Amino acid sequence: MTDNLSTAERLQNALSDLIDQHASDKKPSTFTATALCRRAGISRNTLYRYHRSVLHELHKLQHKHARNTTPTQQAFAALRDENTAQRTQLCQLATLVDHYFVAWSESQTLLKRREAELASLRKKSKLILKAYRETNN
């Protein structure tokens, strides 16, 4: 690498080199912070302290390529993804159950109130009917 490049540029170039080597070699290189820093000619402390964005890109590459290593790891990754999807669905179902329970509770309260109002109206109508009958007889 040339000395007139900035540290960020050297890191980006080193990251590109790692990706290219990974794609072309039969035995691909590993995406590690140490390998990246060696290629860029910087210390790991510099990477961690000043170049978080490059470190974030490195982590994304590690996760992306870690899932594609062996069939067993791919199966585990698929199971993890399925588990995550099921957990999400379970949370959504629990939310739905809570929503319906609250709606049912509110309906029950409203029904009790309406039944009380209806009972009160029946009493009043009986009294009115009784008073009407007494006045007409």
**49: containing domain:** 7-136
Any domain includes 36: yes
pTM of the complete model beyond 0.75: no
The answer to whether residue 1 sits within a structural domain is no
Q: What is the pLDDT of residues 11-38, one digit of tens each?
A: 999 988 888 887 776 454 577 889 899 9
Number of domains in the chain: 1
Buried b (16+ CB within 10 A) or exposed e, 61-74: beeeeeeeeeeeee
- Average pLDDT of span 88-104: 96
Write the CB contacts of 34 (distance below 8 Å, at least 6 apart in sequence). 44
CA 66 to chain centroid: 21
pLDDT in tens, 35-80: 899 999 999 999 989 898 888 888 888 877 765 567 887 788 889 9
Contacts of residue 29, Cβ cutoff 8 Å, sequence gap at least 6: 18, 21, 22, 35
